[in-house]
């Protein structure tokens, strides 16, 4: 089991980055033409990926982070250690509000949320920075 800290070895960051970039290329975004990939590192050291999938009936699409979390749960894990999101464009992509809440279900507040593009790493946050004073499982008596 991995510790829930914000310290990630460089080789782990590289693994997440490569996985998220590859997932982004498989995104389905015919309406926005904005592809996003996400990679989630679970507490067992496994990487799970997702890509955005748009739908003509906006906003019924699926975010990359939600897809990666779903893949993690399918693989038998419910604890995420870190997340890396890759997008394109002039600004760094961070998880949307809905995905921040989804991440809160599986991540500790200090979990690192990293951003990147096709060519470079971007800002690094904790989940608590992106979703301060969040509502989570502990409010319902769960660990």
How many percent of the chain have pLDDT more than 70?
95
- List active site positions: 65
pLDDT at 6: 53
Asked whether the beta carbons of 113 and 140 are under 8 A apart, the reply is: no
Q: What pLDDT is recorded for position 25?
A: 97
Kindly state the average pLDDT of the residues 112-126: 96
pLDDT at position 133: 92
Residue 93 has pLDDT above 60, yes or no: yes
Which pTM was predicted?
0.92
pLDDT at 138 over 90: no
Tens of pLDDT, residue by residue over 35-48, are 999 999 999 999 99
Contact by Cβ (8 Å): 125, 131: no
**Which domains are present in the chain?**
10-133 (3.40.140.10)
Residue closest to 78 by CA, chosen among 50, 101, 110, 107: 107
């Amino acid at each position: 089991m991995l510790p829930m800290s914000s310290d990630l070895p460089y080789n782990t960051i590289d693994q997440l980055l490569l996985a998220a970039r590859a997932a982004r290329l498989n995104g389905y975004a015919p309406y926005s033409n904005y592809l996003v990939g996400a990679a989630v590192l679970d507490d067992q050291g496994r990487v799970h990926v997702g890509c955005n999938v748009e739908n003509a009936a906006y906003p019924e699409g699926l975010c990359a982070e939600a897809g990666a979390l779903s893949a993690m749960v399918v693989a038998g894990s419910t604890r995420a250690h870190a997340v890396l999101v890759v997008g394109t464009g002039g600004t760094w992509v961070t998880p949307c509000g809905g995905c921040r809440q989804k991440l809160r279900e599986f991540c500790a507040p200090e979990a690192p949320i990293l951003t990147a593009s096709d060519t470079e790493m971007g800002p690094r946050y904790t989940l608590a920075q992106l979703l301060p004073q969040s509502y989570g499982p502990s409010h319902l008596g769960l660990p």
